[in-house]
Amino acid sequence: MPTRSGPVYEISFVVDESVRDDFDNWLGEHLSETRHAAGIADCSSFPIADRDDGRSGCVCLYVFDSDNALDDFLDGVGTDIAGDVTSRFRGLVTAAARILRDDSTLDLPSAESPACLNCGTQLKGQYCGNCGQRSRSRLISLWELISDAFGDLFEIDSRLWQTLVPLMIRPGQLTHDYLQGRRARYMPPFRMYLVLSLLFFVIAFFDPREELGLLFEPGPEQTSGTAADGEIAVPDEAIDEAQRVLDELAADGVLPDVELPENAATDGGGFILKLDDDGEAIEVDGDCNVDSADLEDLPDWIARRLTQERLKRICEKTEIDGGKALVEKLLDNIPAALIFLLPLMAFVLKALYPLSKRYYVEHLLFFVHFHAFFFLILTLQILLMRISTMLAIPEAVPIVTIVVTSFYVPVYLFKSMRRVYGQGWFVSLLKFIVLLISYLMGFFATMMGAFAIAAFSI
């Protein structure tokens, strides 16, 4: 069995180029002095690959003979190396330190090391090298179960937060890093898109009083009175009484003479009388007749589906409930419509960058990240409005914030194009205009498709 080595003290430095020479001089002197200290078996430094932010860095490793030697070092010359360096170079050099120790399972012969409970591979550490599962097999407390479920949400260094921050403030950074192979630090793109889109639709359209009505006491029933947009609702069992009231209003000059239609009663238990902008009464008599001449010029495959009977049935159902079922179906179809929009816009990017030598899926990835950012912005805007209402914040504050963030969306798209595709400002602006127009046209087309599907499914 091999002899177990002592602990390793690791310090990672990130250095601004303006102090690089001074830092290198300091580091050489520091390593020369530290290498001869008691209890240190080895002391060396290694460069870090160039970073995207233009800074460079290195890692220093201090190998100790024993844990006691490490304790003596930390109590003496190594008390606060990271803090001293940050202070010496006025924040232009940052450092982070940690202690590394050998995993005891590395000392075991292959036959004696435990096997992964998931795939059976011999373990060489606390994670399986084949499937990635952790070697621990039992959840021994409720906290561990909760931590497994929400760990990414509460851990500051988790992939969730490492993904959301650049998604918000660094346009195109996620796409660029993913295409460069730096992927493990971020959430998978499609998973992030689905999570943020689901979060948006839940916050935007989930009404707890409607979906969880059992938990709330019912409000008073409104059987008559003036509804929104100048509508007057009257229960169908009192049609005669309603006609008498309308006659009295006509006699007083409030309304013109109105004769209620025979089919005023609806499945909703009443009928609707609408008023136009001048206060004139408009009778809703359920007239949903469709002129066959309007359908003659349509393509045959559409005409076979848009029959007069079918259109009349849709019209009647929409009139009965005021379009509520149509709106609900439309909201159900919007997520699928937006997913359908993604590959369409990827084709537009493919056409705009024919010489980029990028695969179609790379252009698709660009819009997956952009839509994820868009859902995140919309979600934050909705939460801001609701929190402002709860806290009685002046209405101008959330409105101005929403306007500013809305202007940020096209700016974000433009900067993302420049970051990912690396073209000049003027060329990128021309392609941005074409992409924006194509996006609006594609969005309108997919929404119309979602509306048509919703209309024919009610």
Residue 345, pLDDT score: 92
pLDDT band at 439 (very low <50, low <70, confident <90, very high): very high
Q: Which two tokens stand for residue 371?
A: 């839509």
Q: What is the mean pLDDT of residues 123-132?
A: 71
Distance (Å, whole) CA 398 – CA 406: 12
Do residues 268 and 286 make contact, with C-beta atoms less than 8 angstroms apart?
Answer: no
DSSP string, 396-450: HHHHHHHHHHHHHHHHHHHHHHHHHH---HHHHHHHHHHHHHHHHHHHHHHHHHH
Residue 259, pLDDT score: 65
For the sheet with 56-64, list strands across it.
40-48, 56-64, 8-15, 93-100
Helix or strand holding residue 222 (H, E): none
Chain-centroid distance, C-alpha 369: 9
Q: What is the mean pLDDT of residues 298-306?
A: 66
| pLDDT for residue 408 is more than 90 | yes
Highest mean predicted confidence (pLDDT) among 69-78, 81-90, 253-262, 417-426:
417-426
Residue 218, pLDDT score: 62
Highest mean predicted confidence (pLDDT) among 55-64, 253-262, 411-420:
411-420
**Side chain identity at residue 159, one-letter code:** R
| pLDDT for residue 423 is more than 80 | yes
Residue 414, pLDDT score: 94
Q: What is the mean pLDDT of residues 59-75?
A: 82
Q: What is the pLDDT of residues 203-260, one digit of tens each?
A: 887 766 665 656 656 655 554 444 444 444 444 555 666 667 667 766 766 566 666 5
Q: What is the mean pLDDT of residues 188-204?
A: 87
Spell out the domains of the chain, with CATH numbers in brackets.
8-102 (3.30.70.100), 104-137 (no CATH), 149-212+323-458 (no CATH), 225-287 (no CATH)
4-8, 214-218, 236-240, 363-367: least confident range: 236-240
Residue 346, pLDDT score: 92
Q: What is the pLDDT of residues 369-404, one digit of tens each?
A: 999 999 999 999 989 988 888 888 888 888 999 999
For the sheet with 231-235, list strands across it.
225-227, 231-235, 270-275, 281-283
| pLDDT for residue 171 is more than 70 | yes
pLDDT band at 267 (very low <50, low <70, confident <90, very high): very low
Distance (Å, whole) CA 438 – CA 432: 10
Residue 404, pLDDT score: 92
Q: What is the mean pLDDT of residues 177-185?
A: 83
Residue 298, pLDDT score: 65
**Which residues are CB-neighbours of 179 under 8 A, at least 6 positions away?**
358, 362, 365, 420
Q: What is the mean pLDDT of residues 314-336?
A: 75
Residue 407, pLDDT score: 92
Residue 338: which of 220, 215, 196, 212 has the closest Cα? 196
